[in-house]
Chains A and B, each alone.
Chain A
């Protein structure tokens, strides 16, 4: 099993979710996060004073899938979240040791 963490632009969430559904991904966790990378921040104006805001809002998706699904999921997210502009985000893949469905006690890929 692998955990895929994808940080994307907030307005891309619906599109990414739809595409993931199409390839059979039926569950995910979403967190509103803030951060910065190459995009740096943006400027906000308050009463004529311009401020540099470093941390910009992003969405982090967390999806756990069977190892053989990983490439397909990565490809789907990368395609759907791509706007061609700086700040489109990143995808990380982590190993997952175990998964348990709380209600039934099922384990492993059965539980995801």
Chain B
């Protein structure tokens, strides 16, 4: 409840916690403005999933395009069901098991929220909005394991990952009684999932890429993108969807929303521009993949920060993210792990940077409110410590959880695909189809 003072950062959870009082009697008039924007945001965030499928699908080889796109699409179905059954209950229920996770039997099968209106918004909308975040997070990881896993192994992996990593982490950071939500003067600042989504997915991606090993032939054999046109369209959809992601996370339709939307736009633009300039200097060419990587770098860095920073801060974060992510991708080449589509290099590194750097760009009014809540003083370094604590907890959970899940999946249904099937490609060997009507599918036999 302390978060209420600071509005934006804690938006959703505040409403959740206030709302639980309302929901008991199901009362409260509907705020049509906010409800309308939240419905729109919910749809926008879902749009990011096919956007991600296109982005990733275009980056893999022709023989794996459908298998890769299915990795994103299946999350809409699988996590879509799990979220309804127990996801919402585990994340936004009351803290249990020493605060490790939440539980609210009213949220089990969403059966107790039929009449519930939370601060003017039907709780169904809030539950569905949150559910979209749960869908896209495991799908992000699919970039690290692209072109080399069994489909059944992947589905088991994301189901377990959702249960063991996403649900606890989301509860810690976004539930009103989560321990990280209540750390320090005003909690860990993570507007739309810098930690909950991008750092958790990015770190898990790095772990899984190392555990699974490289694709056959990597890095000697060139593995060229099948369709950069599709990748660019996917990146465009992600940018558009991100307005629902960030501005929707204010769970509001007003000043805070406008701020989050503006910072999102500013950071994405400065990220894309920076990456383009880096490549223009180094290669004398502005590549399309570099450009869209810059968009993503700008978007992930502002995700935790869009609620508290101002435009100069957003410009700086976007630029810094592109520079650091660019260096991270180069380091990958030297270190030799095969994070195939750079989930760690962009989502983990870029968003992690945002989680920490935002401490130095917080608007004054937020700091003043935090200081008074803390009894007089609160500065950037105090907040940085809280951010580091959140980051440490996220990394620890993601690393341990992902290792455990990897061994469970590998020993049960099998994770890493066998060599022959990998050579044939996932589309033919696992799905019995081929993505492009080109000669390729005849060649692989």
Contacts and interface: CB of A to CB of B under 8 A. Distances in A.
Nearest to B223: A51
Interface residues of B, number: 17
B43 interface: no
Interface string A40-52: 0000111111011
A47 B224 CA distance: 11
Contacts of A51: 222, 224
Contacts of A44: 222, 224
Interface stretch (B194-202, B326-334, B373-381): B326-334
A45 B228 CA distance: 12
Nearest to B59: A46
B222 A52 contact: yes
A69 interface: no
A21 B329 CA distance: 51
Interface in A41-86: 44-49, 51-53
B438 to A, nearest CB: 10
B330 A46 contact: no
A46 B287 contact: yes
A77 to B, nearest CB: 26
Chain A contact-residue range equals under 10
B285 interface: yes
Interface string B216-233: 000100101100000000
A46 B345 CA distance: 14
Contacts of A53: 222, 224
A47 B340 CA distance: 11
Contact of A48 (B219, B222, B225, B326): B326
B222 A47 contact: no
Contacts of B293: 47
Interface string A17-56: 0000000000000000000000000001111110111000
A44 B289 CA distance: 11
A47 B333 CA distance: 11
B287 A45 contact: yes
Contacts of A47: 289-290, 293, 329, 342
B224 A46 contact: yes
Interface in B321-373: 326, 329-330, 333, 342
B99 to A, nearest CB: 40
Interface string B270-312: 0000000001001101010110010000000000000000000
Given A51-B222, A51-B224, A53-B222, A46 B289 contact: yes
Nearest to A50: B283
A47 B283 CA distance: 11
A84 B403 CA distance: 58
A16 B222 CA distance: 33
Nearest to A54: B222
B283 A45 contact: yes
A47 B225 CA distance: 11
Contacts of B219: 49
Nearest to B222: A51
A45 B224 CA distance: 10
Contacts of B329: 47-49
Nearest to A52: B222
Contacts of A46: 224-225, 287, 289
Contacts of A52: 222
A47 B223 CA distance: 12
Nearest to B293: A47
B127 to A, nearest CB: 37
A25 to B, nearest CB: 28
Contacts of B289: 46-47
Nearest to A49: B333
Contacts of B330: 48
A44 B279 CA distance: 13
Contacts of A48: 279, 282, 290, 326, 329-330, 333
A53 B293 CA distance: 22
A29 to B, nearest CB: 17
Contacts of B326: 48
B338 to A, nearest CB: 12
Nearest to B342: A47
B285 A45 contact: yes
A52 B221 CA distance: 9
Interface in B196-250: 219, 222, 224-225
5 contacts: A44-B224, A47-B289, A48-B326, A48-B330, A53-B224
Interface of A: 44-49, 51-53
Given A46-B224, A47-B293, 20 more contacts: A44-B224, A45-B279, A45-B283, A45-B285, A45-B287, A46-B225, A46-B287, A46-B289, A47-B289, A48-B279, A48-B282, A48-B290, A48-B326, A48-B329, A49-B329, A49-B333, A51-B222, A51-B224, A52-B222, A53-B222
Top 8 A-B pairs, shortest CB-CB distance = A51-B222, A47-B329, A46-B289, A48-B329, A45-B283, A45-B287, A47-B289, A48-B330
